[in-house]
Structure 1
């Protein structure tokens, strides 16, 4: 059985459509459909149900999906073993949005010059989602916010940088006391469902501050733009630049020893690509603030 057929099947199940799977695999929808037809012919069972543009697995498809993932991981392990001595192969990385703009662009040039045979595939996402994709083997590693719980012993963790909390205010704001600013003004909240947002929420609770909440967002860039427009103020980490251009804002430290959002590299010790993951950290470490 051609493992490419299984890869196409898995991509369709995870993406929910043949068109999205085709984009992920850099193929045409017709080519992906042909692969599924060949797979179904070999297994002698229909694997997918098509309803318009949406595709869902049949009972037979659900029965083989996890085993299919295991087979693909096994093939990747074989490839990785063959490449162990020469540092070559594909590495699937996840990254939060601020790492995509503040870390990766500045390390990739040197990284590719040193390891031209490593093919990086970068997936953007939120920390919680990327964390679980590493655990499930969908990603080899991820640059995420440090979880608010102990990292399992099955995982590796390398802290890369720490970002202090600041109060972000419009330039027109004349107040200087950060705690009073948080009490007096309309508040744009960093999403509490995000691990970084919980750092800010803990600070507010510890200081018994219950702000006049207007919005709750998971995008730091969007919050900064809204503060610049005078919609409100916010409490968020002072993330690595670049920030959006043309902002009319001021950054006010919350204290002399502010809480911090920690960013790090997360991976599974059992990953078949641990030798490739180790090549990344020295380049990422040079981007620390």
Structure 2
């Protein structure tokens, strides 16, 4: 069985269209359709059927889909084993929303330059979800917020950034006492289901602050935008830039505050350990020695 034919089937089943699968695989629709027919002929069953304008997997197709992740993981392991301990193969990586914009671009740029035979598949998500996916073996490594509990010895952690909590307010608001302002003005809370949100909740309780909470969100970009529009104050981790552009905010350091730690978490062993170690190396060295910024030009 040609693994490329299976990948084409998965793309059609996932995206519901031969045309969309072809676009994502950089193939012609005719080539994808041919691969799909060849796979169906080899297996002796129809794998997809048309429902209106959408292609959906049949019962046989759903059964095959249930096995594909295991097959693809086995192929990644074979490529890594064939590399003879050299960094190679495909890594399944996780990253939080702020890490995707603030940390991962430079890390991935260094990874592609120094280890061109390592491929990366990135899954965005919340830290708690990425953590459990890594423990389940679904991810090789993840850039996320450090959990507030002891981690098993099968995984390793390296802190990349200390991100203190800061009070953010609209630029026009005068703040003389951050704690007084937090109790006086409407408060937009970072979701307590997130580890960063739990850190903020502990800060408020430790300082016995009774905030006028009216909204709770798990999206930091949305929180700072709402604050800039004058809808309240918030406490957020001072995450790695870029922050949303064009915002006029006051950012005030809070007293006696614990910093959120963002870093890389990875599995200590496995068939892709050489590639994992290469990724971790790029994470740690990029923060110490960031790549040069690309040249920009302006028309005056």
Length-normalised TM-score, structure 1? 0.83
> What is the aligned partner in structure 2 of residue 278 from structure 1?
277
Measure how far apart 1:188 and its partner are: 1.7
C-alpha displacement of 1:219? 2.4
Cα deviation, residue 125, structure 1? 3.4
Paired with 1:19 and 1:134, the residues of 2 have a C-alpha distance of 33
Q: Distance in 1 between matches of 2:250 and 2:276?
A: 38
Q: Given that residues 94 and 130 in structure 1 are in contact (C-alpha distance below 8 angstroms), is that contact kept between their aligned partners in structure 2?
A: yes
8 Å contact kept, 2:48–2:57? yes
1:153 deviation in Å? 4.2
Structure 2 CA distance for aligned equivalents of residues 31 and 135 of structure 1: 38
CA drift at 1:230 = 1.8
Aligned equivalents of 2:23, 2:91: Cα separation in 1: 19
Secondary structure of 1:235's match?
Answer: strand
Deviating more after overlay: 53-62 vs 247-256: 53-62
Q: 1:31 to 1:267 in 2, by over 3 A?
A: farther
Aligned-pair Cα RMSD in Å: 3.0
Cα distance in 2 for partners of 1:205, 1:12 equals: 50
Question: Normalising to structure 2: TM-score of the pair?
Answer: 0.80
Partner in structure 2 of residue 172 of structure 1: 172
How many Å separate the matches in 1 of 2:271 and 2:53? 35
Cα 1:284–1:167 change in 2 (3 A) is same
Partner in structure 2 of residue 225 of structure 1:
225
3-state secondary structure, aligned to 1:119? strand
Matched, 1:260 2:259: yes
Distance 1:19 1:269, change over 3 A: farther
* 1:166 counterpart SS class: strand
Is the 2:86–2:274 contact (alpha carbons within 8 Å) kept by the matching residues of 1?
no
Secondary structure, in 3 states, of the residue corresponding to 1:100?
helix
Q: Deviations over 1:102-137 (max 9, x none)?
A: 223334444444323333444433334434544555
